[in-house]
Amino acid sequence: MATPVLLERVRSDVDVLARAGLPLDDFLVEAAESLQRAVPWTAACIATIDPATRIVSSARKYGGLDGRHEHDIEWGHIEYAGEDTTAYRELHEAGEIAVGMHVVTGGDVERSPRMEQLISPRFGYADEARMLFADGGSLWGGIAIFRGGDDPSFSVEETDFLATLAPAFARGVRAGILAQIAGAGTSVNIGPAVAIMNARNEISQLSPGAEARIRQLGAHARTGDPPQTITSLAASARRYAAGDAKSVPRVRVRTFDGAWLLLHASPLASADGSSGDVVVTIEEARPPEIIDLVVSAYDLTPRERDVTRMVLQGLDTKEIAAALFLSPYTVQDHLKSIFEKAGVRSRRELIATIAFEQYVPRMDAQLGPTGTYASV
């Protein structure tokens, strides 16, 4: 275990990075490197998660996992099949922030479906520790770190330390998502695209433009290795088909080039009721679909979120006060706090920042026949 001085230094470094307003990739690379000084790891995988649906929206791999995507489909099935109590969603529901598989299983890591079916046989790692990027009840992502070798186990002290970093990682992810402003030319003028995942978890069919959409997610459709976002959606859709989920899975994704996409997946059935195929639809997200995520990313209190939503609806101070049973002075205090957190000075700037920030670079472009912005 690292010394108390080193632990405090790493905690301080990650907090500074989280407050620096770095783009998402820059924050995650530097924060993961800082973490490695306090809790050494051989490989790491960092996932961002849509807080509304708790489905993976992107994944980045480091160390021994860098460039390895051949088992993402297996990972998605295990993560979202509902059988693993240490899946990100299940940990969040249980109120857990950080866990180590060796500790959770009493030293028998093979009791973990993920370790037994994937991590040990496919990658050769002997232990995994997970930390959720959770803050204020919302789940923004998580990191899984792995070890092998002579002293592979993560200790209780190390996972306790990981838990102290969760708010800073959540803050850094929120800020990083907002920092990725879409530039001119990032729009793919193809409208909604469709990919079919067959029962063997392969992309079997693509609509026109689907390959370009999948490239926006950081993968190539015809390599046989769909991005982790799609494999997670497909596994969630099968869980929905089995009656283990209440709604069709969907996820909002900020792509590597700064565009917003909306993905949703539905299970398909043949005439006799058997199929296993899943249709994944990918389209450019409209402002109303991402407003609540952007509002959440500013770390507003529940009351500040209520005020912000009413500002976006065009209500004035007196109308907001009446609707929320507050005094106008209290509403003004909330607005001051909201403006400070969002880095704006007026209601007009707040509306522009929350609703249209990522679309401004393309506002002079004409809409194409599909309803999306024409390429510029």
The DSSP secondary-structure symbol of 106 reads T
Residue 318, classified by CB atoms within 10 Å of its CB into exposed (0-12), middle (13-18) or buried (19+), is: exposed
At residue 159, the pLDDT reads 97
Cβ pair 72, 228 in contact under 8 A: yes
Neighbouring CB atoms inside 10 A of 201's CB total 21
- Pick the range with the lowest mean pLDDT from 38-42, 91-95, 227-231, 316-320: 227-231
3-state secondary structure of 186: coil
Average pLDDT, the chain: 86
At residue 354, the pLDDT reads 76
Residue 327, classified by CB atoms within 10 Å of its CB into exposed (0-12), middle (13-18) or buried (19+), is: exposed
Q: Which residues neighbour 326 within 8 Å (Cβ) at sequence distance 6 or greater?
A: 320, 334
Superfamily of domain 4-179: GAF domain (3.30.450.40)
* Domain 193-286 sits in CATH 3.30.70.380: no
At residue 219, the pLDDT reads 54
Does pLDDT of 184 surpass 90? no
At residue 57, the pLDDT reads 92
User: Which tens digits make up the pLDDT trace of 6-44?
Assistant: 999 999 999 999 999 898 999 999 999 999 999 999 999
Mean pLDDT score, 87-101: 96
Strands 203-206 and 193-197: antiparallel
Work out the angle between the directed axes of helices 328-342 and 302-312 (0-180°, nearest 10). Answer: 90
Does pLDDT of 182 surpass 70? no
What share of the chain has pLDDT > 90, as a percent? Answer: 54
What share of the chain has pLDDT > 70, as a percent? Answer: 88
User: Which tens digits make up the pLDDT trace of 123-140?
Assistant: 999 999 999 999 878 999
Cβ pair 48, 28 in contact under 8 A: no
At residue 244, the pLDDT reads 79
At residue 125, the pLDDT reads 95
Rounded distance between C-alpha atoms, residue 75 and residue 69, angstroms:
10
Could you tell me the pLDDT band of residue 273, with boundaries at 50, 70 and 90?
low
CATH class belonging to 288-362: mainly alpha
Same CATH fold assignment for domains 4-179 and 288-362: no
* Residue that has been written with the tokens 């979120």 in this structure: 305
The DSSP secondary-structure symbol of 259 reads -
Dihedral angle over CA of 230, 231, 232, 233, nearest 10:
50
Does pLDDT of 100 surpass 90? yes
Does pLDDT of 88 surpass 50? yes
Does pLDDT of 222 surpass 90? no
More confident residue, 356 or 294: 294
Q: Which residues neighbour 255 within 8 Å (Cβ) at sequence distance 6 or greater?
A: 186, 216, 217, 218, 261
Could you tell me the pLDDT band of residue 63, with boundaries at 50, 70 and 90?
very high
The domain limits of the chain are 4-179, 193-286, 288-362
Mean pLDDT score, 85-100: 95
Could you tell me the pLDDT band of residue 188, with boundaries at 50, 70 and 90?
low
User: Which tens digits make up the pLDDT trace of 301-311?
Assistant: 889 989 998 99
Q: How many residues does the chain have?
A: 376
Mean pLDDT score, 78-94: 89
User: Which tens digits make up the pLDDT trace of 357-367?
Assistant: 545 544 444 44
